[in-house]
A and B are shown apart, each in its own frame.
Chain A
Amino acid sequence: MSELSIIAHDYALNADFARKFNDAVLVLKRRYLLGRVGNGETEDTVRQARQDLKGLVGSLVAALHDEGKAWTADQAQVPADLLERLRKRVKGALQETITELRGVVDDLEKGVALGEPAFKALDVVCEAADETASAAFRRLRRI
């Protein structure tokens, strides 16, 4: 009834997406940028992170590139706030961002190692998702 319920809903969705995305990127950064697994992670953790990230980035690409195409349930994984923030953030470079993220999905699909450019693109999403979650939390707490 009050605004807080809908903001709590919004925060929960944004925080969940931000956490899942960031956690998968963290595992893969350690594996491919530092060349090791660690702190309880295994190659299975890496495989799972690749799979999770492939789904999340794939949904994000579909949602960002929805012009004229039918909406699919898969896109619902991506919070609307995040899409808006990402679009504002990349502004004129939206097509390049979509192309880069699509490349990441391809790499994850093919099972190849991710490099610095892929993580640069993923970090943009991590940052935007973190900002939307933090903003929703601040709205929730009126701070």
Chain B
Amino acid sequence: MFELLGISPQALFGQLLLGLINGAFYALLSLGLAVIFGMLNIVNFAHGALYMMGAFCAWFLLQYGVGYWPALILAPIIIGLFGVIIERTMLNKLAGLDHLYGLLLTFGVALIVQGVFQNYFGSSGLPYAIPDLLKGGQNLGFMYLPNYRAWVIVFSLIICVATWFLIEKTKLGAYLRAATENPTLVRAFGVNVPLMITLTYGFGVALAALAGVLAAPINQVRPLMGADFIIVVFAVVVIGGMGSIMGSIVTGFTLGLIEGLTKVFYPEASNTVVFVIMAIVLMIKPAGLFGRNV
């Protein structure tokens, strides 16, 4: 069978694993988007810019001697706070209005942030090295797996599952979901809904920043690193079903796999295949694979 495909089984396994690693990034980013959309009904177009800011934040911290590991915690907190400011000063003014307003606002924020970074740092980016602990790699027999990539996949899986658990299985998550359905009622029970909304947005943003820090040693830290990525991530969210937590995680990893395979069999189409799938899914199941029909 493998001979028929014109590829050795070893190479195929290698490519599948790589696809899964890229899928980890899709999952992490679309997870943040899904949380924000599911809980706040905001289509957060600034997500790519915030992802980029996470990577830049790690770079800045490095200039002050703060390495990768602390940055993994600090950068999401710092950028998350930035998200809180955006929510408190701008997004909360749009509560109750059509989705389009939030979309346009966050899109504008993204353009401004990217423009400012590009003005100061240029377009080719800044170097960020892999942390010493994760340098090198393992020879798995069928491929050479850099330690850092293995770390990425394990770490993002943990984050994804933890987020899903937090929102779907804990009391806090139950409040949150209830607040989305009926804010007035939840408020009547003494829950501070606006604060919860703000913190949720901050959390979604922190997830984007975390993905940014994870990507910094792999990609160049560039102002447009998020803009190139975010369109695909939106497609992932649409395929998974807007706002579905599990949907975005599963779709993220699956699409990473499919894209990985495309890179072997027809590389020219590797950046379109996700959109082809999106079009097909939307025709068959307009609410997305895991979306509930409204």
Q: Do A and B bind each other?
A: no
A residues at B contact (CB < 8 Å): none
